[in-house]
Structure 1
Amino acid sequence: MGGAVIFGAVGYPPQASAQDEPLARFTHQSLRWKPCADRDLDGAGAQCAEVTVPLDYDHPDGRTLTVAISRIPADPARRRGILLSNPGGPGGQGLKMMVGIRAGLSEEVRDRYDLIGMDPRGIGRSDRVTCALPLPTMIFSAGFDLLGYARDTALAGALAASCVAPDPERARRITTRNTARDMDVIRSAFGEPDLNYFGTSYGTYLGAVYTQMFPEHSGRMVFDSAIDPRRYGPGMFADMGPVNEAALDDWAGWAARHDGEYHFGATAFEVRAFVERLIRQAAAHPLVGAGYLVDEHTLPPMLLTLLPNPRLNPDLARVVRMIADGLDGLPFDMDRLKSRITAAAPLDTPAMAAILCGDKAAPRDPAWYYRNVEAARASQPVFGAMANNITACAFWPDPVEAPTEVGNAVPALILQADRDTRTAYPEGVALHRDLTGSRLITLADTRIHGTFRVGLSACVIDAVNTYLAEGILPATDTTCTSDPNYAPG
């Protein structure tokens, strides 16, 4: 219909007065659908709308935000509700998430649900939060000495100040609990009694918080690559150290089998030694250009970005080769390097900082982090100084409300790879324990973050589609295997 505004034919509950329901003007708002002005979304037949939500739910008559959502409509004759999604991060833009996810969904599931993407508050098209200090990430490695750690500490403090100072009220309310409230406003605006949900990575924490806050409206919940709510924050990052060391070893074995192409070494031991030397070279002679820096603080996070999927093995090898050539004085294209890294981890640093730091208070003492960094170095020579490093959260104002303690019997399907590099396997097991009505599907012997992928495991795909279509969880916890042809040889 070109650029014309499309009004959704959605039934809404009877209007309530503000005295009866303080959030009535939000929960009963009409959604105005229009083209998304995005090639992928428009090509998928999606429409977009903006949902108005309170900045502060304790003061619904105060400032507001807009949350951008997309909808790939269900078959009207078979529709049973909405399936909302979140891609993780925190800081991930989710407006286009369902364009990719629907490839793994059965025709029956696609027919039954409006597939809803969302840029959560403070992200992307949803009144994006900004910081005056334009850092590409809030996660750095502490480097090799106290001087390098002091630099990271100063940078973390500066980032926090640059994010909070311009608008403290707004910055401090870009939180998971408020996003969960926004999700319930979206549910109400659609006139739905239940919210069905597909969340990945951080999206599992968001979904778990929703089940705790709104158990009566929690429908069919799928949590892929889950976070332990108790470890959310510094503990979650610390858990990433050992699993990424193991992932680097796995990649090193692959790279050794391709030594004729990349020339890192003929054994996994030699490849790992090459990478560790590279980090020390970058410390002595950093690469700088196009507003980007490659040194001992930034190189470990770059490696981590490309470890969550074995199909990225060649991409990681190319990045390592590019950096090695640059350090050896050969022609080096920083823009090309940036594009490879950011394509693999398209997160919004200001939103990530606001959400993580606004959700849960972090330790304030810089010495606490440095002790943990030093303790991790021997067993985690590449990632220990990153996984335990100080962040902006050490300098963020205290959260406006306490973090959510998750523990309920809402049914949920939890998917977890046993060699996940971002959310360690024990974290998914812990969430399963907290959600007593859940079932856990383990993807065995697989280095992957995000298990719901076409071609990865038919067992996982079938379990998700059965649950979403029929509401049937597996009778017991289940172990799945991956397709042996998924990863490169």
Structure 2
Amino acid sequence: MRLLVITSLLMGLAAVPAAAAGTTWTPCPDLPLECATVSVPLDYRQPAGRKIDIAVTRKKAAKPRGVLLLNPGGPGGRGRDMPLAVEQVAPPALVEAYDLIGFDPRGTGRSAPVSCGLTPEQTDMTKMLGYPAANGDIRVSADYARQIAKQCFQHSGDLLPHVTTANTARDMDRIRVALGERKISYFGTSYGSYLGAVYASLFPAQTDRFLLDSVLDPRDLWAGTWRNWGPGIEQRFDDFAVWAAAWNSTYGLGSTPSAVRDTYFALTAQLDARPVGGLTGNQLRVQTRMGLWFSDAEFPGLAKIWQSIKNGEPVQVPEAPMDQDVVATLWGISCNDVAASRNVAEYQLDVLADRKKNPISNGMPANIRPCAFWPVEPYEPAVRITDRGPSNIVLTQNLRDPATPLVGAQAMRSLLGNRSRLVTGDDGGHGAYLTNGNTCLDTAGTDFLVHGKFPAQDVHCGPA
């Protein structure tokens, strides 16, 4: 085991030299971009063994200063269309400064996709991200998690053990080589922030300007990462409660934030006891979480759902289906990066404690996942995030982010040390840079990526 760990670490830390770039670009059949594939080892411990193809896209600039790799987060988010998404929201100076490079991370899209063979019923969001029963019981969740872990390896057991953050970072360096670049710049959000930090720790000499947005907590992966959702959702719920109280004459959810909170618990309890039109208490919890997740623009839609339930009207709940490869890669990354506890009783105790401390999410952040029944152990330790390297990483973060709370960005800032700076915006929701319209935060990020203006110290911006 010791030899495996040492070997894998050496492979990760040794940068691949910028040899001859042989990438062939052709028009993408489905996107107004250029497409290419980069061949990488399935298992970096056996570099001459089985290969997989990573699907890469490019939006070329006229006179770029370099390349900007992009990742949308997840884990499991596909990234081939990221150059188009960034082009729509980025200032022209940024688009002109870089060739924008998207890619489907291994396991997703057109990069050796994996699957857990999920049935439509198994993709129900109340099950997939493991909401316990209304009273906190996790027996049904444990049965589900055990079955999903089994199905994942029945369908993609040859690929899944190699779907890790470290291997994805190594794939990024193979992309760098294929592009003929000595260094890469990078913009990644949510899980993409952690992926970028892993790359910068493995390949510091190849790291140019890195902007990590909505920063995932690199400590206590992945159980602790999810546990952060509990207090994060509570904090973000307060934003909605203040908004809903101000709009009480329209929606009737309560004239004070405290009354809005009481309405939420009354509605979930009502649906826990007697679902209406198939809508359960946990489904309302899911819809509330999703309504809090991103910008305040989601608040009216969430308020209308609550209002309809309160008035006994039919509720048309929006669905958020997830594709097989996205879900399977989510579990691959989270179960292969670190070993999870296999003690079911421990999860039960954690859920009961968490639902008391953070009742809005009813214990979901602490619930059991397929990782508790994952049939293989990680074959290398998680990459240690370090400050080894130049000062070239900017973190951008909303103060009230329910998905990646501020505490994670602060932890990442501490681990990266003087190599990084933290730019915060006094805003709520998941997604900060180029997302919330915070001019101060956006300017700091763009000045860094385009002009290399590294903040002298951490920056705090007011609300958008």
Match of 2:446 among 449, 453, 465: 465
Q: What's the % identity of the aligned pairs?
A: 34
Q: State TM-score, norm by structure 2.
A: 0.88
Structure 1 residues 183-194: aligned runs within 5 Å: 183-194=172-183
Q: 3-state DSSP class of the match of 1:436?
A: helix
Q: Which amino acid aligns with 1:399?
A: P
Is structure 2 residue 80 aligned with structure 1 residue 102? no
Q: Which moved more, 1:185-194 or 1:28-37?
A: 28-37
Q: Which moved more, 1:435-444 or 1:243-252?
A: 435-444
Match of 1:112 among 80, 88, 97: 97
Q: 1:183 to 1:239 in 2, by over 3 A?
A: same
Give the total of aligned pairs.
442
Match of 1:311 among 297, 301, 305: 297
Q: 1:299 to 1:54 in 2, by over 3 A?
A: farther
Match of 2:8 in 1: none
Supply the distance in 1 between the matched residues of 2:359 and 2:436 (Cα, whole angstroms).
Answer: 34
Structure 1 residues 374-393: aligned runs within 5 Å: 374-393=352-371
Q: 1:236 to 1:384 in 2, by over 3 A?
A: farther
- Residue by residue over 1:445-483, the C-alpha shift from the partner in whole angstroms, topping out at 9 and shown as x without a partner, is 311221112662111121122211222201111111232
Q: 1:283 to 1:89 in 2, by over 3 A?
A: same
- Residue by residue over 1:35-65, the C-alpha shift from the partner in whole angstroms, topping out at 9 and shown as x without a partner, is 3344xx42xxx22222222211122333222
Supply the distance in 2 between the matched residues of 1:248 and 1:455 (Cα, whole angstroms).
Answer: 18
Supply the distance in 1 between the matched residues of 2:242 and 2:396 (Cα, whole angstroms).
Answer: 27
Structure 1 residues 284-299: aligned runs within 5 Å: 284-286=273-275, 294-299=279-284
Q: 1:455 to 1:374 in 2, by over 3 A?
A: closer
Match of 2:23 among 21, 31, 38: 31
Match of 2:130 in 1: 140
**Shift in Å, 1:120:** 0.6
Supply the distance in 1 between the matched residues of 2:236 and 2:340 (Cα, whole angstroms).
Answer: 27
CA root-mean-square deviation: 2.7
Structure 1 residues 183-332: aligned runs within 5 Å: 183-286=172-275, 294-308=279-293, 309-321=295-307, 328=312, 330-332=313-315
Supply the distance in 1 between the matched residues of 2:194 and 2:111 (Cα, whole angstroms).
Answer: 20
Match of 2:138 in 1: 149
Q: State TM-score, norm by structure 1.
A: 0.84
**Shift in Å, 1:322:** 5.3
1:245–1:382 contact (8 Å) kept in structure 2:
yes
Supply the distance in 1 between the matched residues of 2:66 and 2:277 (Cα, whole angstroms).
Answer: 50
- Residue by residue over 1:125-180, the C-alpha shift from the partner in whole angstroms, topping out at 9 and shown as x without a partner, is 2222111223335312212336x410001101111111123332311111111100
Supply the distance in 2 between the matched residues of 1:283 and 1:234 (Cα, whole angstroms).
Answer: 27
Q: 1:94 to 1:285 in 2, by over 3 A?
A: farther
**Shift in Å, 1:79:** 1.8
Match of 2:65 in 1: 80
**Shift in Å, 1:382:** 1.8
Supply the distance in 2 between the matched residues of 1:98 and 1:52 (Cα, whole angstroms).
Answer: 21
2:40–2:174 contact (8 Å) kept in structure 1:
yes
1:177–1:209 contact (8 Å) kept in structure 2:
yes
Q: 3-state DSSP class of the match of 1:377?
A: helix
Show structure 1 runs of 5+ residues with no match. Answer: 1-21, 484-489
Supply the distance in 2 between the matched residues of 1:32 and 1:322 (Cα, whole angstroms).
Answer: 54
Supply the distance in 1 between the matched residues of 2:211 and 2:217 (Cα, whole angstroms).
Answer: 15
- Residue by residue over 1:60-88, the C-alpha shift from the partner in whole angstroms, topping out at 9 and shown as x without a partner, is 3332222222211011xx32211001111
Show structure 2 runs of 5+ residues with no match. Answer: 1-13
Match of 2:55 in 1: 68
**Shift in Å, 1:346:** 12
**Shift in Å, 1:391:** 0.7
**Shift in Å, 1:319:** 3.7
